[in-house]
Amino acid sequence: MIQPGNVVLLYHSERMKYLVQMPKMGRFSTHRGEIDFQNIIGKEYGDSIETHLGCRFYLLKPTLADMAIKVKRTTTIVYPKDAGMMLLQAAVFPGARVIEVGSGSGALTLILANFVRPSGKVYSYERRSEFSVNAQANVARYGLEGFCEFFVCDPEKDGFGQAAIDAVFLDVPEPWVLVNPAHKALKGGFSLVAIVPTAEQLRKLVSCLELEGFSRIRIMETLERNMLVRPSGTRPADRMVGHTIYMVFAHKVNRE
């Protein structure tokens, strides 16, 4: 049963969908009419509701991808198509202790928090306090704040203050400056993941990883294309989500 505070995806179509945290009362306006929140309270996920103009919306349980895409943004975000690959290629599991550098808007933070719960922790570092405040608010919106600790500092200078970490995620303009602190924090054999937007950054990062003692260095990108299924025929959508970032994966090996 939907109650105040629950997050609901109001879905009419892919072009008309809204992620809403339910208040006790009020109205939500769309260009197809208004929705009275009091008419949603008490309904079940999967039910539907009509606007005052008769437009039907379904009350759906939002996915983690929905929540990540709809965070309040102060920075660019890690998109679900990339986050999924990052999770699969790194050791992120219930109970894992994970470092994230570059809290940004908190999209990746809340994804990581969802996967390390109920006994794990995400240690999220951000140099800019306004970004950290926004990321914390986005994580708290979905009830995941208990699985995160936020730090406003520069880990290049201050270090992480953590050891025996299961995975490190770097989302900063110059990730190579954090390769050494990441190596110190990681467990032997576990993963570092760094993301960069340009090929020029890749060369410097990979060189630093090799010098620092990382192995199994791999670079990937993901491309996302939807399909249109219609009575007249099935074909790829006209638009696709192409290059967003390069993902660099590496494993720590112990020094002899």
CB 171 within 8 A of CB 104: yes
CB 160 within 8 A of CB 179: no
Does 146 carry a binding-site annotation? no
Is 108 one of the annotated binding-site residues? yes
Distances (CA, A) of 222 to 84, 200, 225: 10, 18, 10
3-state secondary structure 18-86: EEEECCCCCEEEECCEEEEHHHCCCCCCCCEEECCCCCEEEEECCCHHHHHHCCCCCCCCCCHHHHHHH
| Alpha helix (H) residue ranges in 147-252 | 155-158, 179-185, 199-212
Tokens for 125, please give them: 């570092």
The response to whether 107 counts as a known ligand-binding position is yes
Residues of 74-110 as b/e, b for ≥16 C-beta within 10 angstroms?
Answer: bbebbbbebbebbbeebbbeeebbbbbbbbbbbbbbb
199 labeled part of a ligand binding site: no
Dihedral, 173, 178, 151, 102 alpha carbons, nearest 10:
30
Residue 250 among known ligand-binding residues: no
* Residue 202 labelled as part of a binding site: no
**Residues within the annotated binding site?**
105-108, 126, 171
**Residues within the annotated binding site for S-adenosyl-L-methionine?**
105-108, 126, 171
